[in-house]
Structure 1
Amino acid sequence: MSQAMIKVTNLRLRTFIGFNPDEREKQQDVVINIEIQYPADKSFETDDVADALNYKVITKKVIQHVEEGRFLLLEKLVADVLAICSEHPSITMSRVTIDKPHALRFADSVSLSLEQRK
């Protein structure tokens, strides 16, 4: 069985993230990286979109959830995005890393990663 790995790289969104007063009042940038693994043998053979995983549908759900949400912790945001990325029954592994640029004064960003295997 061949496993395909879909990667969504550097999805840049804005959301309310953090627990400090200023973080709760204005949106901040987040950068999302997603990896989704699924069996792709049938799509290789048929070349039919119906046999492939529709990453556009997953990405749209992620965008809506992130942009409409409010999160105190990066852990909650990453867990929510991972849950969205793991919904489809054929997915065997998903990994999400979210960077919060400018979270620390002397660092490019702070990131958190979570992974789920079925």
Structure 2
Amino acid sequence: MKNIVTVGISSLDDAKDRLAAAFRGEPQGNRISFLTVEQMWKTLSPKRAEILSIMAGQGAMPIREVARRVGRDVKAVHGDVHALLSAGVVDQVKGGVVFPYDAVHVDFMLGEAA
């Protein structure tokens, strides 16, 4: 079974409701939430999304290996990885950095229904 994370937009009230439900023992699944679409796109730019894509399901790897796999300069990838670390999207572990999921599902709505 794949370990999938859902990335989406969530108000503070929604996040608080999910937290309260989790404390009651209700499963919430894996989620990474942003307050706005703009914040999500800034954090998960196309180059950073590519980094997550190559890291998904691969375990820990040094930043230099991440850069090699995406075919980019180590310094530029280092900056992107640290932005993802700051946002809590990837984790720093012994041996480098890890994106602890096998896949990403992006879920948000634009328009009046949002």
TM-score tier (shorter) = under 0.3
Structure number having the greater strand percentage: 1
Structure number having the greater helix percentage: 2
What TM-score results when the alignment is normalised by the length of structure 1?
A: 0.23
Greater RCO between the two (CA within 8 Å, min separation 6)?
2
